[in-house]
Structure 1
């Protein structure tokens, strides 16, 4: 029996490789809304060690309980080439019984269940247990509008979306060009598209949808998703914009890299990283290096082994983690740029770098988490989308928000030359256009801070979501 004065208890379920935003949402719930939270972690067998490290860090906060489900072995469920959403859906299918057992093992049933959008396979468990159910979309509102409208497009559009010349209209939102479509929409005959379509049909069945954006960032798109607007026929559940949900770094971090950063002028260093799964060909890496050298700007570049020797498409890695990174760069590049650049092999503490006063821009693959980190630190971007929904994000950041520049050639379609790279770098650090972007970024940074202040739009949206879940729980119980 749910009591109206009972402290809300929300269970949050992560999808494999999507734990961090769920943890950050859990922190907001506990610290801003005084709820009890339990985070349940799903992982692939191969990613379990990384997830375990995040679990330990989450437990160290002592804010919530964490349950790590047995890692999902999907080797017999998907074809070798089926990755992305297909793999995520398969993993959630495998862990579904363990997830339900974990909920039933709690002292009392939770007030509500919140599942990450790529863990939506488990959403129906809430119906079985008679508790309210919510979906957490850790990317932006335009992506949410696209995925929930895809079932409509699936019936209306013949042939491959990618072959269409005209943009696809999303009622009440910005249209989307074929070249900007998320990867799963590029081949309708593939398993990834079928799973993507299924997610688009399942999201509106939730009692509410949380999205990692805020009212002031995407007012038009959020309005279109709500009752009384043009997408209301598709999405009837209330939308709760609770962004920015992002990681907070440690200001106490010190090493040689930060000793170097401390010596650089304010807003002068370009950070370059393409995410944990992003990679470049050797040919593109060489052009990027030459472009950086020609720009004469300061930089920190996280260098990983190239994925192939030439071209722009993905392929098997031919480089090895233990290789000397100088073998992937122009001869003498490191020595010639030593006074203004730092090469970091494999990984760098991104959150801490972006928040450092000397950091002045981000050369990014446009993952939404990275974009959020830029906005919350007031940094303009060079958009370099590679996969997933990153092309959408790049268009949003450049054309709608005006806080990023991008190359004329899509990085996923061809080689971007050194002259164009030099031009983009100099634009955000030297040219008048860069100063305008920087000013716009400062405005968005302030709006992000205001959204999470007491009484701000996201603070209030999360409070409304918690109250909504309590009322829903009582109604179901009755």
Structure 2
């Protein structure tokens, strides 16, 4: 295979917007700022939002290549956990990835995979490529995964799951049982993730979608072999925050006109990610809470489901004013002066960046969290699954830029009074203003990290240098 003087990198994204958005962000940054030619391989999905994301403005030296959708129906059952499904999908996609890399004109000097793609390291070794992991979540989540891998299932089961005692992570914030992701709670099915935890430590480095100044103590602990007892022996590169750009998606004319009429920082944006949903009862309480707060709102609404990960189905009959039957009767009529409801999906970054938006009620996915920070918007933390409860704990306890219901948002119904009070706190109270000031300071620090000479810029530059040295070796 011929070589050239430009360093090429291949990136592999698992299914799901939570992985694809930061992978595309990383690829664009590597191509634009660090002289890479980047090929992003992503596992095809029939999710319409994937297509929308990939219509983003073209970047020179960036190629995006889909891998064929694989059929894993014979390999999973009705109770197979989401994490395990993702790992299996990636594993079944490896033959296609190998064929495409083998056919490339120039051999990539590095393969960068997300958290569920470590099985692709065999391909990297076959083609003599450097191996990196890109952790699209935060450093604390990575520390929890790696430390759990070291402790093993027996200890986690007895101490953390049955005993419900906090998981002590040396040098890091302890992880309460209530905030533990399902993938670490469900011992019977967590072996796949543990195995990937060990594989990550056999890479040439771990990139993290955070920045040094945001999680300095956790990143220091990850780098300190004494803290994690020799588990992390590879370089740690905090290279974020890498956030979505919404591609070519512009604000709908009606949405833009409505936002333009509102006072600065007067609107709370309500959205639970690209596919998450609430139960019918919880949606009713949320609707009443927004209405009773009398604060301006934009709400991205999907039909309810008992599964937080989300399902799409045909809605029933609407009320006379167009209100769907799963919202309180007459909701649209009563809130027409203060609210705007958007069905199914909206260009989130475009909305968060509008001057009229001053709060965000969010499921606390890490992408959404970073997008909120990068636009200086405080949050109401409403975690639903995966590591979102960990993110919510960081936002409320460490950064103090969010409020959170005292009850579990996955196990109990959050009442309308609680919701209304949280909205008022964020949008109208002194406490909310203090959070807004703090999140704007975080935004400024994040921007400095990404600028030339900043910590995130320098860490990614080091990866580029290592790839160039490997290419010339």
Q: Classify the TM-score, shorter chain.
A: over 0.9
Unaligned runs of 5+ in 2: none
Matched, 1:225 2:222: yes
Structure 2 contact 265–355 (Cα < 8 Å) conserved: yes
Structure 2 contact 280–326 (Cα < 8 Å) conserved: yes
Matched, 1:358 2:359: no
Offset of 1:263 from its aligned partner? 0.3
* 1:321-470 mapped onto 2 (5 Å cutoff): 321=315, 324=318, 325-470=323-468
SS at match of 2:258: helix
User: Whole-Å Cα distance in 2 between the matches of residues 141 and 349 of structure 1?
Assistant: 27
Structure 2 contact 225–231 (Cα < 8 Å) conserved: no
User: Whole-Å Cα distance in 2 between the matches of residues 87 and 356 of structure 1?
Assistant: 37
Unaligned runs of 5+ in 1: none
Alignment-derived partner of residue 245 in structure 1: 242
Which of 249, 256, 259 is equivalent to 2:257?
Answer: 259
Alignment-derived partner of residue 43 in structure 1: 44
Matched, 1:216 2:210: no
Alignment-derived partner of residue 193 in structure 2: 196
Alignment-derived partner of residue 10 in structure 2: 11
CA 1:41–1:231 in 2, change beyond 3 Å: closer, same or farther?
same
Offset of 1:273 from its aligned partner? 0.7
Alignment-derived partner of residue 150 in structure 1: 148
Alignment-derived partner of residue 34 in structure 2: 33
Offset of 1:157 from its aligned partner? 3.4
User: Whole-Å Cα distance in 2 between the matches of residues 218 and 34 of structure 1?
Assistant: 28
User: Whole-Å Cα distance in 1 between the matches of residues 63 and 120 of structure 2?
Assistant: 20
With the length of structure 1 as denominator, give the TM-score of the two structures: 0.92
Offset of 1:326 from its aligned partner? 2.7
User: Whole-Å Cα distance in 1 between the matches of residues 411 and 377 of structure 2?
Assistant: 26
Offset of 1:88 from its aligned partner? 1.1
How many pairs are equivalent? 465
Matched, 1:175 2:174: yes
CA 1:81–1:157 in 2, change beyond 3 Å: closer, same or farther?
closer
| Aligned alpha-carbon RMSD (Å) | 2.2
User: Whole-Å Cα distance in 2 between the matches of residues 322 and 219 of structure 1?
Assistant: 50
User: Whole-Å Cα distance in 1 between the matches of residues 354 and 49 of structure 2?
Assistant: 26
Structure 2 contact 251–351 (Cα < 8 Å) conserved: no
With the length of structure 2 as denominator, give the TM-score of the two structures: 0.93
Offset of 1:286 from its aligned partner? 1.0
Offset of 1:2 from its aligned partner? 9.6
SS at match of 1:301: strand
Structure 2 contact 277–309 (Cα < 8 Å) conserved: no
User: Whole-Å Cα distance in 2 between the matches of residues 74 and 322 of structure 1?
Assistant: 32
